[in-house]
Structure 1
Amino acid sequence: MSDANFSRTALRTVTATVYRWRRSLLLAALLVALGWGLVTLVRTTGWHEIARQLVQLGPGQIVVLLLLSLANYLSRGLRWHLFVRHAGVPATLAQSLRHFIGGFALSVTPGRVGELVRMRWLQRETGFGLAQTAPLAVVDRASDLVAMALILLGSLALSTGGIAFAMPVAGLAVAAAVLVTRPTLLCAGVTASYRVSGCLPRAFARLRQTARGLGAFNAPSLIFFTVLLGACGWAAEGYAFHLLLIWLGTDIGAAKALAIFTFSMLAGGLTGAPGGLGGAEAAMIALLTVEGVPLEVSVPATAVIRATTLWFAIGLGALVFPVAERIAAKGAQS
């Protein structure tokens, strides 16, 4: 290896190491900030009141919350499978569910690395490259945005009172979903960016290829069924939030609980933080407080629902991840 090649390889290794450390430090900072905020609220409210609320939950109720979250993951996993098959990738339902759930292990990493890992697994097991599978991550995220926006608008229409900024947030979610799935618009943006930068022609060519691939997912029937699956999945978790509030002695109505849960998930995502950490919890507690829910209920309710949704997903992903890695490695060798 020449000195120039060695230097470039060393530079890439150092850059990748620094990037990993930055990601880890960012995640650690977010977790510390979130923990500090929750501890502050608990101290303000009183440890005994929080504990009294939590002991009201029995093992059976926790299982119900986890099953509703599992229904969300399976529903969205089936949607992922529909996207995969529509892209022409010959994956089985078992493969799609393994990839989808295994990717949850990296849900709280910046840049949603979990979705990139799913692409790698698909490539190793089916031979389909990133240019062919990259649109899957885009349409999957766009489908989530539309489904959650529809749930938010529908639940607000059925509930008494509104939520400040709910309409702009829902509109922004739909607009973002439409924007990132328009092949012509994205190709024009990529071309304009390349003309401005004048470098990395291969990278921009791949981006244009990915943008063109999005056109395959614009069939009305596919959009309808995938948005429906996403809406059913997120509604299951929203209903879990409603049940949790009832079990903690507070009933604000199913529609309002669903609206608060969905708005908080969207608001957390808009912050750009991995997994919506911090933003989703803050929005949920604030909106519950506006509804007259005391902190001794809103704080444990927020902590429990995040534990049985986000952190449950990460736990399942951590269990599936090594299995998916092992199977993908065997596929790459065959």
Structure 2
Amino acid sequence: MTTKPLRIGFVPEHFSTPLHYATTHFSLSATLIPFPSGTGHMITSLRSGEIDIGIGLTEGWIAGLGKDGGSTEGDSKDGGYRIVGTYVETPLCWAISTGPKRDINGVEDLEKNNKIGVSRIGSGSYVMGFVLADQRGWLGKSEKPFEVVPLGTFDKLRKGVADGTADFFMWEHFTSKRYYDNGEIKRIGEIYTPWPSWQIVASTSTSPTDDRLSDLFTKLDQGIKHFNENPEESVKYISTSLDYSEKDAREWLKTVKFANGTKGVDVSVVEKTLGILRKAGVVGESGMKEKEMSAITRT
């Protein structure tokens, strides 16, 4: 009997480099499916049975499960996925951007009820908007802090702030930087996630004891080890195969720390993230609880 390779959703950015190594250097048997629009799109695909694994942003995964007890899209009655592993330990720096000709020069120029561009409802770009709103004191019990404008891709977000469809958007710093450098968008600030930034999830139809999942953790760990030991190879790959300059690739390497062992998630990370998302108004008290969100926890 032939075992089907796992279908793994990932964001085709610099953070995917260890996954690339896992397949090219350590024979990970998997079908890699890129999701340039991010974590929110992967949630939809996990729930519809299009992928088995997703590697994406912590806040997106937890918000997806915590909001109203999880979605009932398709055949899923339980949120459709669970957190099974940890990918990146360091926080993510979200750059806050607007159009180059807009009369917005800093976060202090943003106002309540501005239009925020997001990739999808429930994505990291959506969730972090509410974290920013909490920091700015825009959250009210009966009113929304801003108008949310879903635009899909990073390219459409950049165009959206230029033509006025949205006033600002948030995206990872180094992915945004080359577009500041070429004048396509203008940086007005930044915000860091108050949690480790990337986690690994599996569909609820994928057993936590599946041998393919064990193989994924083993090969990802090898890919991360190779990443740590071969910075020049990583710089070359990121600057030639992905959308980054060599200088930015080198700077990013100084800021990122991948997990020392990808299997399992620290429950305290889930608890902290969910607590902040509740405070920010992204999820309510009635949603899925912390301990229910993880299928494999770290001991």
What TM-score do you get using the length of structure 2 for normalisation?
0.26
Pair member with larger Rg:
1
Higher helix fraction (1 or 2): 1
More strand, by proportion: 2
